[in-house]
Structure 1
């Protein structure tokens, strides 16, 4: 188990030096700022990106997300679906051939939603969500979409892209819908529960059909047990990497927390990852906004990543 940094778009010297100095081994780039060449990412740009990360003694272990415009018609069965599928096949092949072993993405045409932030310890600002407030907002797309219609779109895509991923030796995984509620803006949030992820991995059983395990979002799932989900998917080797963050509350109302102050027992969670043989990396994901921190949250991320490193060391030494 390893500690990484993520949630930045560009592999700048500043970010990479920060990650290396604070002891990370792995880097995840989120919404990488790469040239959009007719709806694809090109091989030479991806290789250049990987080499820039390796120049700081780090490993570019995953890319997370492409522009929504690369695959929105795939998610919603729009008129450009087939064109976008061909383009996404090109992009997935190029990511793999560039030496990047993991691609995480989401199935959220309406993206991530939050409502008014929460104020937590000593004035710290944390993102929050209240489903009652979100349901007052208008449609985000042309109409209301049906749950099984959306599952059909997802299943069509998974059955096409997973054999390509197997051929290229890359793992693909989907982030849970955040927030994990039934519907937002007229769009069903498919991946919102333990049961929905069991359904996902059975669409096409394969090591390449895996999970981008955002522990924070899984912890928000109403009525589901986070420790049971870690063990279930970990034992089946479906967890590619982990967003190791904490929350207070579950749907319909929750807010994010410091890594060590939410309702999840992070030592217990880390112990389960170790017990099931998880050998991937953890990133801090989101962090609360503290006094005089940067927009990206350098102070908060240094704290969270140090906590992750200490937790990995404690759990692995305890296990012998």
Structure 2
């Protein structure tokens, strides 16, 4: 298990140099179909630039679903086949360029939050409060969408993309509905539950049909146990990588918090990934805005908040991996340095 830094494409030299100085080898770049119409040579050029800093381009993360250009794929419209063929060309190009993972979403309304929220020490986080009266309004796409139709379109896509992904060695995974509520703007949120992801991975039983595991969003799912979901999907090799984020509660109302504040026991979560056999990467995610922070292009948050989260991730990974080395929680009683034992 290793930390990973998320950046925009193109990321400046400073961002890549900073990642190298963090001691982090793996880079996630936001882009791909829907946000940037890139082809094979574009991906090769981007990968080689990242490698010139001694880093590894591990993931392309994006999402074509919010783009109006691709809504016939999401809703099963008249241009569905034509647009899928275009997307498959882009999938092939990513795989041929040596990129191992593509994370995307199935959220035509993109992700949603309410107003900024003041959290620990006056830092500014984000929160959500589900407004049924507002969120049940007619869809921004002109009519209310039918959930069964959206599942049919999703299954059609998975059956088309998985063989191509297998052919070029590109593992693909879907991000959960964020926030995990039944619908927003008249559009159903398909991936809002444990059962929905079980249904996803059963469409085609392949390591190339998997999950972009946003732990924060999974933690927000009402009635679900985050540790059970980590164990279930991690043990079946369905977790591609993790958005390692903490939250204060579950939908319909929650706040995003500092990584070491919230209801999730992050060390227990990391142990669960380890015990399930997961060996992939963890990014910091939706970090708060801290006082006088400087911009760090990529995920939410600035240099201070993201550095804090990255250090925390690296420390928790090392702690749970040392438990295996020492045969239990690290402490003086089992030969490690320090007094006592960690929780």
Summarize the Cα distance change of 1:310–1:35 in structure 2 as closer, same or farther, 3 Å threshold: closer
CA offset at residue 118 of structure 1?
Answer: 1.4
TM-score (norm 1): 0.95
Find the partner of 1:41 among 38, 43, 52. 38
Of the structure 1 ranges 21-30 and 126-135, higher mean CA displacement relative to structure 2 is found in 126-135
CA offset at residue 168 of structure 1?
Answer: 1.1
CA RMSD of aligned residues (A): 1.7
CA offset at residue 66 of structure 1?
Answer: 4.4
For 1:263 and 1:8, the matched residues in 2 are separated by 30
CA offset at residue 34 of structure 1?
Answer: 10
Aligned to 2:49: 52
Of the structure 1 ranges 65-74 and 208-217, higher mean CA displacement relative to structure 2 is found in 65-74
Equivalent residues of 1:10, 1:33 under 8 A apart: no
Q: Aligned runs of 1:180-195 on 2, under 5 Å?
A: 180-195=180-195
CA offset at residue 15 of structure 1?
Answer: 1.3
CA offset at residue 73 of structure 1?
Answer: 1.8
Aligned to 1:255: 255
CA offset at residue 281 of structure 1?
Answer: 0.5
Of the structure 1 ranges 239-248 and 21-30, higher mean CA displacement relative to structure 2 is found in 21-30
Summarize the Cα distance change of 1:213–1:162 in structure 2 as closer, same or farther, 3 Å threshold: same
Summarize the Cα distance change of 1:66–1:147 in structure 2 as closer, same or farther, 3 Å threshold: closer
Q: Is 1:176 equivalent to 2:157 in the alignment?
A: no
For 1:138 and 1:160, the matched residues in 2 are separated by 31
Summarize the Cα distance change of 1:238–1:33 in structure 2 as closer, same or farther, 3 Å threshold: closer
Equivalent residues of 2:50, 2:57 under 8 A apart: yes
**Deviations 1:264-314 (Å, cap 9, x if unpaired)?**
000000001111111110000210111111344111110000000011110
Aligned to 1:83: 82
For 1:93 and 1:11, the matched residues in 2 are separated by 23
CA offset at residue 135 of structure 1?
Answer: 2.3
Q: Aligned runs of 1:229-308 on 2, under 5 Å?
A: 229-296=229-296, 297-308=302-313
| Consecutive aligned runs of 4 or more in structure 1 exceeding 6 Å deviation | none
CA offset at residue 3 of structure 1?
Answer: 0.6
Equivalent residues of 2:27, 2:57 under 8 A apart: yes
CA offset at residue 243 of structure 1?
Answer: 0.3
Equivalent residues of 1:7, 1:285 under 8 A apart: no
Equivalent residues of 1:246, 1:257 under 8 A apart: yes
For 2:168 and 2:70, the matched residues in 1 are separated by 20
TM-score (norm 2): 0.89
CA offset at residue 238 of structure 1?
Answer: 0.4
Equivalent residues of 1:145, 1:188 under 8 A apart: yes
CA offset at residue 33 of structure 1?
Answer: 10
Equivalent residues of 1:102, 1:170 under 8 A apart: yes
For 1:137 and 1:219, the matched residues in 2 are separated by 27
For 2:135 and 2:188, the matched residues in 1 are separated by 12
Q: Aligned runs of 1:216-227 on 2, under 5 Å?
A: 216-227=216-227
CA offset at residue 138 of structure 1?
Answer: 5.5
Unaligned runs of 5+ in 2: 297-301, 326-343
Structure 1 SS opposite 2:254: strand
Aligned to 1:25: 25
Aligned to 1:61: 58
Equivalent residues of 1:110, 1:184 under 8 A apart: yes
Equivalent residues of 1:201, 1:210 under 8 A apart: yes
